[in-house]
A = this chain, B = another copy of it.
């Protein structure tokens, strides 16, 4: 099922080597002013080839809106959109016609669908995220009206970790460097590591931290659709994502309950005023429902399996084969994944908002 969300839904389509990538945004409230330049700007952020440390593929992705807008505002009807694939490069992939790349989806797709579409991985291509970013950019503009802002940044590359919590960082610095890390010194070290890995034709993973500010109390549902369960599902749907935690997450399991409780600050009337907590170990969600504090979580990304090296593998007959190194290569997907994490967060939060209405 290529649809994400329940009340706010993004349906996406498109392969990297077909004519276009696109989607349908359904459930948007009517009358919301949309700045299409911001949508395009967010799309530009996911483009590779913007710096020395990312893959050099040139993609001039222009989003075309096909419906659902009138005089600059949403009408409440579905918003169809597409981005043409300027250059299909199918020939680049011809050496893949009969081989299955290790730790890609080649084998599992073939096992599931009985089809080998070797042209750039079909729906597993990073270009599939174009639809997520466009949908997310619409959701973000709807959320902004509600006072919600979303920040994601690279908080770990390989073993290099930003060890300050987000509250001690200047999040306005995220875009100041190509790794999208708001700590400039750590960013420089990360960039050096990525370049080293790139020289080896290798790849490296990392962690993205995301913060949503301004979410009021009450979003999310108690049992199966807890807000963090929705976020976990959204994040784990991003290519190469391997882990998710929120609040203190894995790091909090060693603590005692007495240390972890977030005490309420007396003086505000529950149900009428926003009640604050003195700490926010919970990550802004309790019992699956937002409590008005910042929501923060982490997403782990593995190093991707596309290397700039020859790799031993098998072909469609099960015989040994080689995947030959190709001319481009993204040593670290973290910087490009930052806007995708933001987009999936926006899609999830706006959905949770509508479900709570």
Contacts and interface: CB of A to CB of B under 8 A. Distances in A.
Q: Which 7 A-B pairs have the closest CB atoms?
A: A105-B287, A243-B245, A203-B257, A13-B80, A108-B289, A205-B253, A257-B303
Interface string A13-50: 11100111111101100110000000000000000000
A19 B67 contact: yes
Contacts of A230: 233
Contacts of A77: 2, 13, 15, 122-123, 222
Nearest to A115: B30
A261 interface: yes
A341 B102 CA distance: 30
Interface centre among A117, A229, A313 (most CB of B within 10 A): A229
Interface residues of A, number: 150
A311 B261 contact: yes
Interface in A94-134: 100, 102-115, 117, 119, 122-124, 128
A242 B202 CA distance: 32
A253 B242 contact: yes
Interface string A310-335: 01111011111000000000000000
Contacts of A113: 30-31, 75-76
Interface of A: 1-4, 6, 9, 11-15, 18-24, 26-27, 30-31, 64-70, 73, 75-80, 82, 100, 102-115, 117, 119, 122-124, 128, 156, 158-159, 197, 200, 202-207, 217-218, 220-226, 228-237, 239, 242-250, 252-258, 260-264, 266-271, 273, 275, 277, 281-283, 285-292, 300-307, 309, 311-314, 316-320, 356-357
B2 A223 contact: yes
A299 B77 CA distance: 27
Contact of A111 (B124, B291, B312): B291
17 contacts: A2-B224, A3-B224, A12-B223, A13-B66, A14-B78, A30-B115, A102-B262, A103-B286, A112-B218, A159-B254, A204-B256, A229-B236, A242-B283, A252-B300, A256-B303, A257-B307, A266-B320
Given A107-B217, A223-B12, A287-B104, A249 B242 contact: yes
